[in-house]
Amino acid sequence: MTGLLELDDIHTAYGTSLVLFGVSLEICRGECVCLLGRNGVGKTTTMRSIMGLTPPYKGRVRWKGEDVTGSHPHRMARRGIGFVPEDRRIFSELSVWENLDVAQRSAKRPGPWTIEAVYALFPKLRELSKRPGGVLSGGEQQMLTIARTLVGNPELLLLDEPSEGLAPVVVESLLAQVKRLKAEGLTILLAEQGLDFSLALADRAYVLQKGSVRFSGPAGELRENVELRDNLLAL
């Protein structure tokens, strides 16, 4: 396996409030890695640091071996990192199709994920293609956010809390779709509070506590070892 993304001891702060205290992690091509931890431990900040939205003030972000710390977010997107943020807001004034069109044009990364291909993955979006994004339901918006990221043909997908706020039945279909993406070889970094969702997908897991990595290892270990799991993640 070759290292795709590597975080080397990153420290990140919002203004004067420090959030990450030396997070190191590595994601290899084709892997699904999940980032676990309670609310506020720095999962979203880790993703924002990777994306360049909140660049780390210390430490390195490496993409395919190249130091990309402090790169602009649009450069990261064009390098092939697709970010699906927690708030899953789409461009509410544009129609579903326009949302996808804009994303496809801006990422400038042609590949297998065309608008047709994402419509095939999320058939519901085809039906809604002329609707303004602002009138979609939560689950539909989540599909659109993922679809919007996919049309940029990312090599690494950052999924931040994809199941949050969705009805159980919607979460189930989402899980199936993300599994399909994984099966097609897409590398995924998943941040989740929902253990069932993440452990069903992940190959490896990192558990964050108070802005640093407390555990890293195969996801199977967390799946089977209830004591370890409770110890790390109990509320």
Q: What residues make contact with other proteins under the rule CB under 8 A?
A: 51, 53, 72-74, 76-78, 83, 85, 89, 91-94, 98, 101-103, 105-109, 148-149, 152
Question: Nearer to other proteins by C-beta: 27 or 171?
Answer: 27
Nearest-angstrom CA–CA distance, 61 and 66: 8
CB of 202 to other proteins, least distance (A): 23
Phi, psi (rounded to 5 degrees) for 203: -90, -45
What are the structure tokens assigned to 128, written together? Answer: 């809604």
Question: Nearer to other proteins by C-beta: 181 or 219?
Answer: 181
Q: Confirm if 143 and 119 have CB atoms less than 8 A apart.
A: no
- Burial (CB < 10 A; 0-12, 13-18, 19+), residue 56, is buried
Question: Nearer to other proteins by C-beta: 152 or 211?
Answer: 152
Question: Nearer to other proteins by C-beta: 139 or 152?
Answer: 152
Question: Nearer to other proteins by C-beta: 103 or 207?
Answer: 103
CB of 150 to other proteins, least distance (A): 11
- In sequence order, the 6+-apart residues with CB closer than 8 A to the CB of 111 are 153
The separation between the first and the last C-alpha atoms of the chain, rounded to the nearest angstrom, is 35
CB of 216 to other proteins, least distance (A): 26
CB of 9 to other proteins, least distance (A): 24
Q: Confirm if 131 and 95 have CB atoms less than 8 A apart.
A: yes
CB of 54 to other proteins, least distance (A): 10
